[in-house]
């Protein structure tokens, strides 16, 4: 086997591989000799079939198999000897397309190698981390919001008209073509106007009613309505308004606390403070991570494989296109040409991805099976009722597994770096922390 370098330009490499006819023939003979003891053929005892007959019977099939194995072996040995790691699948093609048995095999292999990532002293890195504490005012504000979500309804004075957001207690009977239909009647039904829990157009017609009023509500069932006998049909609901109630926030007391699983109001305040500070810590984590990546991006420079940058730029352009065109769910929009801005962002992502991968390997960072299972479970919750199918899909899809594993690995590497770097904490107000978080989305 002869391997000759034909290209050495930056990270690009090219090699000509020659597999001689004698080497290929020897490989075929080796396979036949290995199989001979187990071969049975009419007229011969097991293991006694002549080699010439075996070659005639199986030689052609083993020829292609041997050729592929020899080339794969040559590639593996090349990468082992050189230490090169291809950025993407090497491009391999046979150059003598008029090949026939007895000829040498000529193959051309081209690839871009991953660059040598320079080592950095993590203890030399410095980054500022914002820290926000939950103030008493923050807790009180969250309490008021909770009270609003746990709102009660208080009866309005007689004669006062209902408003959007009010609750009306009604009796109703629905009819289609003058005939009442099954499931179309109820008594003392509490309906919150604006909740969109009834047929479109129903709740709007009850805005402005008063206690004791009777009203005929005319609606049309949607074409896609679940009951086929009602879909698309016009209906009239005879409604009697028995009460009109206005929304009122729940009292901030021990009873409210119990509704949210706390023993008393002080216990609820403690839970709220913990939740708020966990949210602030999550936001601060995003900010300090971005700052750390900015420091690494400025500190470390090295050549990048053009193929990886191009692929990443196209992915960014595709993703941003769909964010800007959410109604376009297909992929028949043609190729989206990346801009210079996309390419600059792609270079940053590829550079940081290679750097974090190298640091992770140096510090033996691993994503555990438990962490992967948790990540899959989190994703599966987006598909209620189909969790099992989603699990099976992920198990069979290596690309999906990598998409789930990558952010976990990245976060664990960031943790390693932050443990060794100089991290200066700076206390800030929650408003300032939110501003920092908003600025991350703008970059």
Overall average pLDDT of the 206-216 stretch: 96
Share of the chain above pLDDT 90, in %: 63
Q: Which residues are 106's β-sheet partners?
A: 18
* Residue 30, pLDDT score: 79
* Cα dist from 163 to 186, 193, 275, 350, whole Å: 22, 8, 35, 56
Packing angle, helices 21-35 and 51-82, rounded to 10: 120
Q: What is the pLDDT of residues 212-221, one digit of tens each?
A: 999 999 999 9
Structure tokens belonging to residue 278: 């966990």
Distance CA 284, CA 107 (A): 54
Q: Is the pLDDT of residue 210 over 90?
A: yes
Q: Are 184 and 175 in contact (CB under 8 A)?
A: yes
pLDDT, tens only, 340-372: 999 999 999 999 999 999 999 999 999 999 999
Among the ranges given (110-114, 147-151, 278-282, 405-409), the one the predictor scored with the smallest mean pLDDT: 147-151
Q: What is the pLDDT of residues 247-297, one digit of tens each?
A: 987 888 898 889 888 899 999 999 999 999 999 999 999 999 999 999 999
Q: Which residues of 147-186 are buried (b: 16+ CB within 10 A; e: fewer)?
A: beeeeebeebeeeeebeeebbbbbebebeeeeeebeebee
Residue 443: predicted pLDDT: 47
CA distance 267 to 258: 9
Residue 308: its pLDDT value, please? 93
pLDDT digits (tens, 9 = 90+) for 185-195: 999 999 999 99
Element (H, E) at 169: strand 167-176
pLDDT of residue 59: 67
For residue 141, is pLDDT > 50? yes
Confidence of residue 332 (pLDDT cuts 50, 70, 90): low
pTM here? Answer: 0.69
Quick one: pLDDT band at residue 27, thresholds 50, 70, 90?
A: confident
Q: What pLDDT does residue 58 have? A: 74
Residue 329 confidence (pLDDT): 67
| pLDDT at residue number 40 | 73
Across 244-273, b (16+ Cβ under 10 Å) vs e yields bbbeeeeebeeebbeeeebeebeebbebbb
Q: Quote the tokens at residue 380.
A: 């599966």
**Mean pLDDT (whole number) for 225-234:** 90
Tell me the average pLDDT across 383-400: 88
Say if residue 179's pLDDT is above 90.
Answer: yes
Measure the CA–CA gap between 242 and 120, rounded to whole angstroms.
Answer: 75
pLDDT at 56 over 80: no
**pLDDT at residue 103 is higher than 50:** yes
Indicate whether 38 pLDDT > 80. no
Report the alpha-carbon distance of residue 254 to residue 276 in Å, rounded: 20
- Among 278, 277, 285, 276, which residue's Cα sits nearest to residue 423? 285
d(CA 50, CA 385): 61
């Amino acid at each position: 086997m002869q391997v000759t370098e034909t290209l050495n330009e930056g990270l690009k490499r090219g090699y000509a591989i020659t597999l001689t006819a004698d080497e290929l023939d020897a490989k075929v003979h080796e396979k036949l000799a290995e199989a001979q003891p187990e071969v049975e053929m009419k007229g011969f005892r097991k293991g006694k079939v002549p080699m010439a007959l075996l070659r005639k019977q199986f030689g052609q099939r083993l020829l292609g198999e041997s050729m592929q194995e020899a080339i794969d072996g040559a590639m593996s040995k090349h990468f082992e000897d050189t230490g090169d790691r291809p950025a993407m699948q090497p491009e391999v093609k046979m150059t003598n397309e008029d090949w026939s048995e007895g000829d040498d095999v000529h193959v051309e292999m081209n690839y871009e190698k991953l660059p040598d990532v320079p080592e950095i002293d993590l203890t030399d890195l410095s980054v500022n981390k914002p820290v926000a504490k939950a103030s008493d005012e923050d807790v009180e504000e969250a309490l008021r919001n909770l009270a609003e979500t746990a709102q009660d309804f208080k009866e309005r004075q007689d004669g006062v008209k209902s408003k959007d957001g009010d609750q009306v207690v009604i009796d109703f009977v629905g009819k289609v073509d003058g005939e009442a239909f099954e499931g179309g009647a109820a008594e003392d039904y509490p309906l919150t106007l604006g909740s969109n829990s009834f047929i479109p157009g129903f709740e709007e017609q009850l805005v402005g009613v008063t206690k004791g009023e009777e009203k005929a509500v005319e609606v049309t069932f949607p074409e896609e309505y679940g009951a086929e006998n009602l879909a698309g049909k016009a209906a009239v609901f005879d409604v009697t308004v028995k009460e009109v109630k206005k929304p009122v926030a729940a009292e901030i007391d021990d009873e409210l606390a119990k509704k949210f699983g706390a023993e008393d109001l002080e216990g609820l305040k403690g839970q709220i403070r913990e939740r708020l500070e966990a949210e602030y810590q999550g936001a601060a984590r995003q900010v300090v991570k971005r700052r750390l990546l900015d420091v690494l991006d400025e500190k470390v420079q090295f050549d990048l494989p053009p193929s990886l940058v191009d692929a990443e730029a196209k992915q960014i352009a595709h993703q941003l296109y769909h964010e800007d065109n959410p109604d376009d769910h297909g992929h028949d929009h043609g190729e989206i040409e990346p801009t210079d801005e996309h390419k600059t962002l792609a270079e940053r992502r590829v550079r940081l991805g290679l750097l974090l991968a190298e640091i992770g390997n140096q510090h033996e960072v691993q994503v555990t099976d438990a962490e992967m299972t948790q990540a899959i479970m989190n994703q599966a919750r987006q598909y209620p009722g189909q969790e099992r199918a989603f699990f099976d899909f992920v198990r069979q899809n290596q690309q999906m597994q990598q998409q789930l594993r990558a952010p976990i690995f990245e976060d664990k590497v960031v943790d390693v770096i932050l443990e060794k770097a100089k991290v200066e904490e700076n206390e800030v107000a929650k408003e300032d922390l939110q501003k920092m978080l908003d600025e991350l989305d703008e970059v």
